[in-house]
């Protein structure tokens, strides 16, 4: 055991780098608690009647269409309206391309929402797949 300690002390740059990488790996896994799903994964989630589909786009974007049965809360308002959402239900977030909904998914996870999903590619991917929308 002392040989290992001697090695680590002599190789302090290597040791420090190793510790930092392990810490980043552990933190990265804890920080990202939501899952990314493609359109097929989203459709599978929609089989659950208790799923909340959260559209975080702005109102003007919704005029181009939206996924049926969605709850609409623009991203900038989500933090103030967390109490409107059930922490025990599955929540699928989406925006136009998937970036704002990713930020929203992270926010939900930080606030103890347990089953959070983000639609990869957002509404653009949904439309590109030819899936139904409402206007």
Average pLDDT, the chain: 89
Active site residues: 95
- pLDDT band, very low/low/confident/very high, at 8 (cuts 50, 70, 90): low
* Contacting residues for 135 by C-beta, under 8 A, at least 6 apart: 63, 64, 65, 66
Average pLDDT of the residues in 74-90? 96
Containing 37, the helix (H) or strand (E) segment is strand 35-37
What CATH homologous superfamily does 34-128 map to?
Rhodanese-like domain (3.40.250.10)
Average pLDDT of the residues in 87-94? 97
**The pLDDT value given to residue 10:** 75
Above 60 in pLDDT, residue 29?
no
Q: Which residue has the higher pLDDT, 64 or 7?
A: 64
Q: Please classify residue 82 by burial: count the beta carbons closer than 10 Å to its beta carbon, then call 0-12 exposed, 13-18 middle and 19+ buried.
A: middle
- Token output for 132: 């139904």
Three-state SS for 2-32 is: HHHHHHHHHCHHHHHHHHHHHHHHHHHHHHC
């Amino acid at each position: 055991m002392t040989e290992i300690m001697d090695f680590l002390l002599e190789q302090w740059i290597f040791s420090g780098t190793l510790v930092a990488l392990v810490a980043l790996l552990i933190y990265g896994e804890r920080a990202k608690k939501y899952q990314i799903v493609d359109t097929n994964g989203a459709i599978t989630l929609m089989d659950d009647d208790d799923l909340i589909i959260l559209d975080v786009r702005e109102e003007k974007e919704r005029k181009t269409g939206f996924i049926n049965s969605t709850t609409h809360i623009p991203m900038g308002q989500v933090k103030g309206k967390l109490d409107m959402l059930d922490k025990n239900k599955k929540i699928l977030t989406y925006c136009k391309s998937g970036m704002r909904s990713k930020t929203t998914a992270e926010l939900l996870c930080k606030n103890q929402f347990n089953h959070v999903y983000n639609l990869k590619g957002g509404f653009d991917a949904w439309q590109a797949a030819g899936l139904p929308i409402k206007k």
